[in-house]
């Protein structure tokens, strides 16, 4: 939401907010939810509904990730997950690395399930020619993004979450 702009609106004697509903086919249906006594109640409800929608959206796409392409996953991860918790210079660098370094140099059709360490090494080799820090920043961003993707096979067994050494 833009600063100073409310998600709530007054209509037919009560306060409402827009509502996004995730359909079974992954599309989003837009509607409104109302009956709130105050603008603040509608805004609180909107925050709760938006959080529920985002959770359902992530769960849906995680379940469908075998059909997701690497570039679609990275765009989704950046816009829906990473950018929500990062700000300032760190976010600007992440956007630059993803949109100006990685995406233009990757195979746009490769499925996430087919990504392997060799493919990523080749991608990083190409990207690293851009400037001195491009390879390292790209590696860092891919590491953060892919550790949460369910692609545990990309990482040595010892570095996987939940792995216990014998």
pLDDT tens across the length of the chain (166 residues): 445 678 999 999 999 999 999 888 888 899 999 999 999 999 999 999 998 888 888 777 766 656 778 888 888 888 888 888 888 888 899 999 999 999 999 887 888 778 888 889 999 999 999 888 898 999 999 988 887 665 544 544 444 344 344 3
H/E element, 90: helix 88-96
Place of tokens 């105050």: 38
Ramachandran class of 154: left when φ > 0, alpha when ψ lies in -120 to 50, beta otherwise:
alpha
**Per-residue confidence (pLDDT) for residue 103, from 0 to 100:** 93
Taking the C-alpha atoms of residue 78 and residue 25, their distance in angstroms, rounded to an integer, is 23
**Per-residue confidence (pLDDT) for residue 101, from 0 to 100:** 93
Do 34 and 40 form a contact (C-beta atoms < 8 A)? no
Taking the C-alpha atoms of residue 53 and residue 80, their distance in angstroms, rounded to an integer, is 11
Do 43 and 17 form a contact (C-beta atoms < 8 A)? yes
Taking the C-alpha atoms of residue 109 and residue 124, their distance in angstroms, rounded to an integer, is 17
Give pTM, 2 decimals: 0.55
**Per-residue confidence (pLDDT) for residue 162, from 0 to 100:** 45
**Per-residue confidence (pLDDT) for residue 166, from 0 to 100:** 35
H/E element, 54: helix 39-63
Rg of the chain taking only CA atoms, in angstroms: 20
Taking the C-alpha atoms of residue 101 and residue 99, their distance in angstroms, rounded to an integer, is 6
């Amino acid at each position: 939401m833009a600063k100073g702009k409310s998600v709530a609106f007054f209509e037919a004697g009560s306060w409402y907010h827009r509502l996004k509903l995730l359909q079974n086919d992954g599309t989003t249906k837009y509607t409104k939810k109302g009956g709130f006594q105050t603008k603040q109640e509608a805004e609180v409800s909107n925050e709760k509904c938006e959080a529920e929608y985002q959770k359902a959206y992530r769960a849906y796409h995680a379940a469908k990730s075998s059909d997701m392409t690497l570039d679609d996953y990275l765009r989704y991860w950046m816009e829906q997950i990473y950018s929500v918790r990062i700000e300032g210079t760190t976010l600007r660098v992440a956007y630059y690395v993803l949109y100006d370094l990685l995406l233009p140099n990757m195979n746009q059709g490769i499925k996430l399930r087919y990504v392997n360490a060799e493919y990523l090494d080749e991608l990083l080799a190409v990207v690293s020619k851009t400037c001195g820090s491009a390879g390292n920043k790209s590696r860092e961003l891919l590491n953060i993004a892919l550790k949460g993707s369910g692609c545990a096979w990309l990482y040595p067994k010892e570095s996987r979450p939940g792995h216990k050494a014998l």
